[in-house]
Structure 1
Amino acid sequence: MAKQLTMPQLSPSMAEGRLVTWRKKEGEPIEEGEVVAEVETDKAVMDLEAFESGVLRKILVQEGERAAVNAPIAIVGSADESIESLLPGAAAPPAAAQPAPSAPASSPPEKTASVPSGATSREESGRIRASPLAKKIAREGALSLSSLSGSGPGGRILQRDVLQALSSRPVAAPAPPRGATPEETRLLPLSMMREQIGARLLASKTSIPHYYLEIEIDAAPLIALRSELNDALAALPSDEKLSINDFLLKATAEAARRVPEVNVSWEGKAIRQYGAVHLALAVAVPDGLITPVIRDAQDKSLRQLAREGKELAARARERKLKPEEYSGGTLTLSNLGMYGIESFAAIINPPQALILAVGALTKKPVVAENDLIVVGHRVRLVASCDHRIVDGSIGARFLQEIRGLLERPLALLL
């Protein structure tokens, strides 16, 4: 029997997918579990497997087009059966008439279920009903609330309604500079990843009260230990080398274990404190940013973290990460030192409560213990914290632990 092949939810945050490539053509047989297409989600390009065997009778979504999760993208069936009833626009079979129930079978699960059909965000007086946060985000995004229908009680406009409208709003092309020809300007379409980044970061910056703590690390002991360890690794039959970032991963995981108050998330009327440090590592990819996660980082050695971090980063750049490899992080490390950025403040990745930004290793004059000015090797770290749950003293203790570990790095080998 012919069936529709629908767009599966290939990542936890996926709302729609874009067909990158069809591996099969119309009329070709397919086997259950066989890869029939490649789909771009908001995080990666993933294989789409057939759920049953048959013939690919009709492709409904072409390469480059998008489809919502659970929307039909193709029809699979036997070679000779009719598929007319499954094509878009086909008339649905008439439903059997049933008497209207005199009362609902059960009470509605949410208050919003009792809102009358057609409820809008306007009261009878004409005033637009919206939450304060929704109004703030709409104002910053130059979005008129009068064009929205709210999903809250009584049609009230909520934050999610505004964010959805902003992420789906077409972007007007700016006027070309005077004297420029049309060929000098381009309107670039947003990738699935870039859309998701825009929505999440807007929500983070407008709903999380960020504050920032900065500290400077004496990196000379770390540089000396790294050089000694890499000399020892060079004698082994492998090309393994340790980077400064590897030590930062280890120090961040250990500091979060020692100060568990930063390894938390805000849940409205409760604080969730995680029992393990799932350390996310920000990795730049051609069309955005992704944060693969090292699970149970607090229990892994320096070399284990180095290997896993490098493997995850390589797969992230190839857009080959699995959903479980980039979800569930409890705090994030972001390093722009390789680009020469000496100091920066990162935006928190919700629902996490802290992200640590790492700058470049620099040489600069510093005052030594004997009050002499000497050449020092320094690294600046900036912790962006959610002030709802990570107070200043907690964030300061976290950075103090990192400083102690990096300036006396032998402890990272224990």
Structure 2
Amino acid sequence: MAATELTMPQMGYDMQEGTVVRWLKAEGSNVELGEPVAEIETDKAVVEFESYASGVLQTILVEEGATVPVGQPIALVGEEAEVTATAPAPEPDSEPVVVEAEPVSQAPDEDEEAHDAIPLGASSVPTAPAAPVDSVAEEPLEAPSEPAPDRRIFATPIARQMASEAGIDLADVDGTGPGGRIVKEDIAQFVASGAAAPVEPEVEAPVVVEPEPVVVEEAAVVAEVVEAEPEIEPEVEAPSEPEVEESPVAAEVEEEEEAVEPEPDSDLIPLSRMRQQIARVTIRSKDEKPHFYVNTDVDMTEAMALRGQINDALADRGVRATVNDLIIAASVLALKKFPKFNAYYEDGSIRMNDDINVGIAMALEEGLIMPAVVGAGEMSLAEIAEATKDLAARANQGILRPEEYSGGTFAVSNMGMMNVTSFVAIIQPPQTAVLAVGAVQKRAVVAADDSIVVRQMMTATLSADHRIVDGAEGAFFINEIKRLLENPLSVIL
């Protein structure tokens, strides 16, 4: 049976490459279908990569810390018999390749074999007796083992970004996060301690060295340099011609342009990988998806009262249902009644999704992510509350599963905690719709008997893809959510 290739997964609508942060399994280890084997860092988060085959992890093709394109094989999983037959093969093959010719030393970057340095060291002393060769071979064996921990440094994306901007080597930082992960607080503490200060002199050193190669090139008598000298002579004579002297205006314009360029550059702030990814996805969404919007005011008075009773009942389980949990539960029921809002648009067709996975917009310090509550369509309100709490905790730690990162079929974005009354959200591709909700606020409302009463109101705005649904369907859908929230018992029964 041929080995199964595990490839770099696409865990996002616009993901083009990923970084292997850490291997959770070693070569020769048994793996089961769906078992996490590695942690992959995307532009937004670190997710656990699960094997889609059972067997033995035969070969790890991509080392920790390496970034490869989506779809590139990163490991092989096969039967145990295949491992014993194929494991010894790479060793004899790798030795002659290095001994034959030294110029091949650039190729090992693709093979990513740490043993390449050993044959090179041994081949450099071919006339030495057996004993010295052993001693020379032993020294490189210890040296490659030192860089290995550098590749296994486990840090959140924001911590890596902060370290890069401050010129900090992550190997010098002690991680205090889960499993020794380096988090943003560790970088901030490292900077505050002043340990990062010595980085500055390293920047000045290359500037002093640069002029030296110029002096060497002038002093060296090389055939190539001598041949180039006659070419310089006509360039010296050229300024004497009157045609060159007649263009001082062009020179002044160039000088002005050069003087202006540094000023705007000093104000430019490079986008982080996450911001670049957000920019690509949102632009593509607005470009491809003809958005339309419908909104309505929802009376949340009864829902808020019921929520208090539910939380009292769930106190023993350590779970509290939030307003967002109620909105997700109501959205699930509405999606079952109007399934087109849970669909994808694909090449002129509509793909109907059987599962309902509700994405939740989460604002992290490094940017926006929208992980999904996978299987929300089959959950009770209490289960949704537990799932969202766990999802938020792991999102803040930078640990998400691939299906949570990219498997959403519908989304809810809630900015009520920021005291926002209403807003419009951009649809997360390839989804069809997103529900944006504001804060629950006390407002004066005209009752059915024309009396003025104070009710707890919330404004909800639906953004939908006009290729799949029309405005009337959007109105029916959002009014179904309104009906469910204003009659909250129908949400939990």
Q: TM-score category by the smaller chain?
A: 0.5 to 0.7
Structure 1 residues 186 and 20: alpha-carbon distance in aligned structure 2, compared to 1, 3 A threshold: farther
2:128 paired residue number = none
Within 2, Cα distance between the matches of 1:36 and 1:255? Answer: 37
Within 2, Cα distance between the matches of 1:339 and 1:44? Answer: 24
Within 2, Cα distance between the matches of 1:330 and 1:52? Answer: 35
Question: What are the Cα deviations for residues 276-335 of structure 1, in whole angstroms up to 9, with x where unaligned?
Answer: 322222222232222222233222111011111221222122211111222232111111
> Pick from 344, 350, 365: which aligns with 1:271?
350
- Compute the displacement of 1:72 (Å): 10
- TM-score by length of structure 2 reads 0.54
Retained in 1: the 8 A contact 2:359–2:409? Answer: yes
Within 2, Cα distance between the matches of 1:329 and 1:200? Answer: 15
Does residue 40 of the first structure (1) align with residue 41 of the second (2)? yes
Within 2, Cα distance between the matches of 1:372 and 1:45? Answer: 54
Retained in 1: the 8 A contact 2:415–2:438? Answer: yes
- Kindly report which structure 2 residues correspond to 1:99-118, keeping only aligned pairs within 5 A, or say none: none
1:88 paired residue number = 106
2:400 aligned counterpart, secondary structure: coil
2:182 paired residue number = none
Within 1, Cα distance between the matches of 2:37 and 2:463? Answer: 43
1:379 aligned counterpart, secondary structure: strand
Aligned residues: 309
Question: What are the Cα deviations for residues 146-174 of structure 1, in whole angstroms up to 9, with x where unaligned?
Answer: xxxxxxxxxxxxxxxxxxxxxxxxxxx99
1:166 paired residue number = none
Retained in 2: the 8 A contact 1:7–1:67? Answer: no
Does residue 9 of the first structure (1) align with residue 8 of the second (2)? yes
- Kindly report which structure 2 residues correspond to 1:18-29, keeping only aligned pairs within 5 A, or say none: 18=19
Does residue 405 of the first structure (1) align with residue 404 of the second (2)? no
- For 2:295, give the aligned amino acid: E
- Compute the displacement of 1:21 (Å): 7.6
Structure 1 residues 397 and 337: alpha-carbon distance in aligned structure 2, compared to 1, 3 A threshold: same
- TM-score by length of structure 1 reads 0.64
- Compute the displacement of 1:386 (Å): 0.7
- Compute the displacement of 1:385 (Å): 0.7
Q: Percent identity, please.
A: 38
Does residue 215 of the first structure (1) align with residue 214 of the second (2)? no
- Compute the displacement of 1:206 (Å): 0.9
2:279 paired residue number = 198
Within 2, Cα distance between the matches of 1:36 and 1:264? Answer: 31
Retained in 2: the 8 A contact 1:7–1:68? Answer: no
- Kindly report which structure 2 residues correspond to 1:380-399, keeping only aligned pairs within 5 A, or say none: 380-399=459-478
Does residue 292 of the first structure (1) align with residue 374 of the second (2)? no
Question: What are the Cα deviations for residues 64-93 of structure 1, in whole angstroms up to 9, with x where unaligned?
Answer: x754457799xx97699467487535799x
Unaligned runs of 5+ in 1: 1-5, 24-29, 93-172
- Compute the displacement of 1:242 (Å): 1.2
1:329 aligned counterpart, secondary structure: coil
Within 1, Cα distance between the matches of 2:47 and 2:418? Answer: 30
Does residue 253 of the first structure (1) align with residue 271 of the second (2)? no
1:345 paired residue number = 424
Retained in 1: the 8 A contact 2:8–2:72? Answer: no
Does residue 336 of the first structure (1) align with residue 425 of the second (2)? no
- Compute the displacement of 1:215 (Å): 0.6
Retained in 2: the 8 A contact 1:360–1:379? Answer: yes
2:359 paired residue number = 280
1:389 aligned counterpart, secondary structure: coil
Structure 1 residues 69 and 393: alpha-carbon distance in aligned structure 2, compared to 1, 3 A threshold: closer
Unaligned runs of 5+ in 2: 31-35, 75-86, 111-260
Within 1, Cα distance between the matches of 2:445 and 2:385? Answer: 30
1:211 aligned counterpart, secondary structure: strand
Within 1, Cα distance between the matches of 2:109 and 2:262? Answer: 43
Retained in 1: the 8 A contact 2:303–2:486? Answer: yes
Greater share of helix residues, 1 or 2? 2
> Pick from 427, 435, 439: which aligns with 1:360?
439
Within 1, Cα distance between the matches of 2:432 and 2:352? Answer: 10
Structure 1 residues 82 and 11: alpha-carbon distance in aligned structure 2, compared to 1, 3 A threshold: farther
Larger Rg belongs to? 2
Structure 1 residues 38 and 251: alpha-carbon distance in aligned structure 2, compared to 1, 3 A threshold: closer
2:359 aligned counterpart, secondary structure: strand
2:311 paired residue number = 230
Retained in 1: the 8 A contact 2:291–2:464? Answer: yes
1:326 paired residue number = 405
Within 1, Cα distance between the matches of 2:73 and 2:466? Answer: 44
> Pick from 269, 287, 297: which aligns with 1:187?
269
Within 1, Cα distance between the matches of 2:106 and 2:422? Answer: 54
- For 1:17, give the aligned amino acid: G
Structure 1 residues 51 and 406: alpha-carbon distance in aligned structure 2, compared to 1, 3 A threshold: same
Structure 1 residues 18 and 221: alpha-carbon distance in aligned structure 2, compared to 1, 3 A threshold: same
- For 2:280, give the aligned amino acid: A
Within 2, Cα distance between the matches of 1:19 and 1:176? Answer: 36
Structure 1 residues 36 and 338: alpha-carbon distance in aligned structure 2, compared to 1, 3 A threshold: same
Q: What's the Cα RMSD here?
A: 3.9
- Compute the displacement of 1:31 (Å): 4.5
Within 2, Cα distance between the matches of 1:91 and 1:255? Answer: 53
